[in-house]
Amino acid sequence: MQLKSHLWLTAAILLAVGLASCNAGKVPEPTTDVNAVYTSVASTMIAQLNDQLTQTAQAVPPPAGLAGPTELSTLPPLPTLSIEATLTPFGTLNVTGSPTLVTVFTPAGTLSSTAVGCADSLLIGDITVPDGTVEKPGTVFQKIWRMKNSGTCKWGTGFKFAFAYGGSRFGGGDLTINQSNDFVPVGGTKDFGVKLTAPTVPNTYSGCWKMQLPNQGYWFGQTACVTFKVSK
């Protein structure tokens, strides 16, 4: 058994020596660097692409008036925009002739009523000088309205029937309740008359009176207006 083992070992040694002697004269093959190959190929492709781009750019003519990209820095600056505004003053307004008064009024009985606390009033109607009455220039006349106490407290001392608004009061004054026989109970009525003077300029005019609380001066109730026309 030992003899067979020695024979196999001797045969293996001899085979190895023979193979070594056969390759002893050969030059070893160089090892190939794959990364170097890739780098070389990529550099070649980039160089070819740059050559093609350069040739294309040279073949395309520049726009008219622009010899090349370097002339952008030599272009003249943009002009400065200047805006000048001149204000023209308004002309002088000349008004000739007599001014015209436009009168807007609400017929009696349609005005809304505004109560203040327990005080309220209602216009019953015109006793004299109905709306639209024609008066001569400078004429003195008396306008009388009938008012009703539509509140829940009497009109006592200091209650007033006074000019509220309109083009003018036409010389008419305010009427103040001072006497007990002038007091107006709840539901009662009272006639208030003011003396007016018609203007001298022909036109249509209007003025309004209204009830007023004593001391505080608050207006309350319905408005009573006079509207008349002045004609020669």
**Do the domain assignments include residue 166?**
yes
* pLDDT value, residue 141: 97
* pLDDT value, residue 171: 94
**Do the domain assignments include residue 191?**
yes
Domain of residue 138, CATH code: 2.60.40.10
* pLDDT value, residue 216: 78
**Do the domain assignments include residue 97?**
no
Counting the structural domains of the chain, the total is: 1
- β-pairing, 219-230 with 133-135? parallel
**Do the domain assignments include residue 137?**
yes
Read off the pTM. 0.52
Contacts of 142 (CB under 8 A, 6+ apart): 128, 129, 193, 194, 195, 196
Domain that holds residue 161: 121-230
* pLDDT value, residue 44: 64
Nearest to 136 by CA among 199, 186, 91: 199
State the first-to-last Cα distance of the chain, in angstroms, to the nearest integer. Answer: 169
**Do the domain assignments include residue 156?**
yes
* pLDDT value, residue 219: 95
* pLDDT value, residue 62: 52
* pLDDT value, residue 40: 62
**Do the domain assignments include residue 61?**
no
Question: 3-state class of 132 per DSSP?
Answer: coil
**Do the domain assignments include residue 104?**
no
- β-pairing, 121-126 with 140-149? antiparallel
Contact 155, 201 (CB under 8 A): no
**Do the domain assignments include residue 42?**
no
Q: How far apart are CA 203 and CA 195, in angstroms?
A: 19
* Number of Cβ within a 10 Å radius of residue 150: 18
Query: What residue ranges of the chain have pLDDT lower than 50?
Result: 2-6, 17, 19-31, 37, 65-73, 75, 81-110
**Helix, strand, coil percent content, the chain, rounded in steps of 5:** 25, 30, 50
Q: How far apart are CA 52 and CA 43, in angstroms?
A: 15
